[in-house]
Structure 1
Amino acid sequence: MEGDVSSGPNTRIAAVTGGNKGIGLEVCRQLASHGVTVVLTARDETRGAEAVEKLRAVGLADIIFHQLDITDPSSIATLVDFLKTRFGKLDILVNNAAVGGVEYLQELDASEEKFAGMDFDEMLEWMVKNVREPIDGAKEGLQINYYGTKHVTEAVLPLLQSSSDGRIVNVSSIFGLLRLISNEEVRQELSDIDNLTDERLNELLDKFLEDFEADALEARGWPAKFSAYKVAKAAINAYSRMLARRHPELRVNCAHPGYVRTEITMSSGVLTPEEGARNVVKVALLPDGGPTGKYFAEGEEASFV
């Protein structure tokens, strides 16, 4: 599938996780439209290959599919070997793959008519009322949304450092803002980037799961509703800031695409995947030497709090 893809020494190379649908697919399309050679990754080979063919059918030739399960170390290693052999570098990593960490009580492809007349807050309220949060979902949410993202990032770091201007964009959310955590101690630790360590971050996530199983989230000041999603995104925000400090030669930023109509939101939301992806791509294509360790909400720099 990659035989006819050309990439010269000055061509930027991007890898996008979870690229076969929704925001991820649109990020791939828009990056390719800006002349970037895109490696679209997805866990499902059939769906990933179909997504590439869909983009090639509209004239975007420089897109390659490569299978990637971000929770599988061997799958990550295979992708890294491919990127190293084929390109010798990676210029842009967009960590988009994510799950809701919940069980949905409504169809994921609900028609837009369901939300006619609802404003932002009403749609959000509808969404959080129509999910159930089992412990298995919470564990999967942390495993994919935090640990999987981190493992992919760590694995491709040498390739990003081989770029003249390596960038990492971690797709985040307003659900990851620190103000949603009422536990002051946890909030302070996630803010204290000078002293926060990977080990301590792991301990905080373990404590969250312990409190989740004990049905003590509210009592311990953790966020309610989409709780694992919120905690994982808060952790990714903190990790991104830590990574930016460790690697000043890279641009590491978080991008909240907006409230987008996707499977995770059960097709509720105020933005299309195209509009949400535009907010992510804007961060991925910031000018050389631009900001790092920052959070962007709908394309504009904002607070992690």
Structure 2
Amino acid sequence: MTATTPPRQVTALVTGANQGIGREIAAQLAGLGMTVLLGARDPRRGEEAAAALRSAAGAEVHPIWLDVTDPASVTAAAKHVEEQFGVLDVLVNNAGILGDPAAQSAGTARLEVVREVFETNVFGVISVTTAMIPLLLRSPAGRVVNVTSGLGSLALMADPQGFFARRPASVAYVPSKTALNSLTVQYAKELRPHGILVNAADPGLCATNFTRDVPGLTRTAAEGAAVAVRLATLGADGPTGGCFGEEGPIPW
């Protein structure tokens, strides 16, 4: 009788996952049987979120301190993943900040606010992804998902008849998501030969703390998270270098 090798545990890291859509992404990936590292800037909140998910579903969810704007934190997180698991199969770059909306108007923007937003939403993604690529390359089916926003679509933002035409102009958050979309294409091009698929996920407008200034939202964080989870679990023939929402591709 030939012994069979037990299936290898799939490991996923989700940044900014102690609340909102990030937490729902972590929960849904864990529900699929993955070991999930719940990244959080605040260790206490990360521990509380991970414990709650484990208690609710008996899931393999572990907190990991990860401040995407702190190089020492990013390096420590990558070392932890390597030492504990040796490989990373899924990276979801979810951490993001809105910044002070009042300081983002085109004519009165404060550069310190713009820099702060880009530090998390763009430079933080570069920092984390760079640190995790060596571990993703060890995976037989590495996946990277960047959580973006429809606001980052130049095509949608430029449509005078579209929904986003009614949103206030922003020179920080909105351009940061456009830059994130461009990064997605660049990473997809770099990693395609290695079988790693890289895509951007637009969760859509969901009722979370992030969108508390938008009235009447009924779409849940769990519904928004499902978009990222689908991209995190694509088969080998799946797309790469695209932006996708609930109903399919979104124009750049």
The alignment's TM-score, normalised by the length of structure 2, stands at 0.86
Q: Percent identity?
A: 38
Aligned to 2:248: 300
SS in 2 for 1:70: coil
1:106-185 equivalences in 2 (<5 Å): 134-179=110-155
Counterparts of 1:210-221 in structure 2, within 5 Å, are none
Q: Distance in 1 between matches of 2:34 and 2:247?
A: 19
5+ residue gaps, structure 1, are: 1-7, 106-127, 183-222
Confirm or deny: 8 A CA contact 1:19 1:48 kept in the other structure: yes
Counterparts of 1:91-110 in structure 2 under 5 Å? 91-103=89-101
Residue 94 of structure 1: CA displacement? 0.3
The yes-or-no answer on 1:279 pairing with 2:227 is yes
Aligned counterpart for 2:185 among listed residues 241, 259, 283: 241
CA contact (8 A) 1:173 1:233 kept: yes
Q: Distance in 2 between matches of 1:133 and 1:272?
A: 31
1:250 aligns with 2:183: no
Name the residue aligned to 1:231.
Answer: 175
Report the secondary structure of 1:247's partner residue.
Answer: helix
What is the one-letter code of the residue matched to 2:212? Answer: M
What amino acid is aligned across from residue 254 of structure 1 in structure 2? Answer: A
Matched residues in 2 for 1:301 and 1:39: separation?
28
Q: 1:282 to 1:297 in 2, by over 3 A?
A: same
Q: Pick the structure with greater CA Rg.
A: 1
Shift of 1:278: 1.1
Show CA shifts across 1:153-204 (max 9, x none): 011001000000100000011110023676xxxxxxxxxxxxxxxxxxxxxx
Separation of aligned partners in 2, 1:298 and 1:225: 25
The change in CA–CA distance for 1:262 and 1:90 in structure 2 (over 3 A counts) is same
Q: Conserved in 1, the CA contact under 8 Å of 2:147 and 2:201?
A: yes
- Tell me the SS of whatever aligns to 1:54: helix
Compared CA separation, residues 82 and 290, structure 1 to 2 (3 A): same
Match of 1:241, as an amino acid?
A: V
Alignment of 1:195-206 (within 5 A): none
Distance 2:143 2:222 in 1: 21
- CA distance, structure 2, for counterparts of residue 134 and residue 9 of structure 1: 52
The amino acid across from 1:252 in the alignment is V
**Which residue number corresponds to residue 162 of structure 2?**
none
State the one-letter code of the partner of 2:238.
G
The residue type paired with residue 85 of structure 1 is E
Give 1:261's aligned residue.
207
Count of aligned residue pairs for this structure pair: 233
CA RMSD of aligned residues (A): 2.2
Residue in 1 that maps onto 2:15:
17
Mapped partners of 2:62, 2:74: distance in 1: 16
**Per-residue deviation, 1:267:** 5.8
Deviation at 1:264, TM superposition (A): 2.0
Paired residue type of 2:122 = Y
2:26 match: 28
Distance (whole Å) between structure 2 residues aligned to residue 48 and residue 97 of structure 1: 13
> For residue 291 of structure 1, what is the aligned residue in structure 2?
239
1:279 CA displacement: 1.5
Asked whether the 8 Å contact 2:18–2:45 carries over to 1, the reply is: yes
Q: CA deviation at 1:32?
A: 0.4
> Cα distance 1:103–1:94, how it changes in 2: closer, same or farther (>3 A)?
same
Distance 1:137 1:156, change over 3 A: same
Aligned to 1:205: none
Matched residue type, 2:185? R
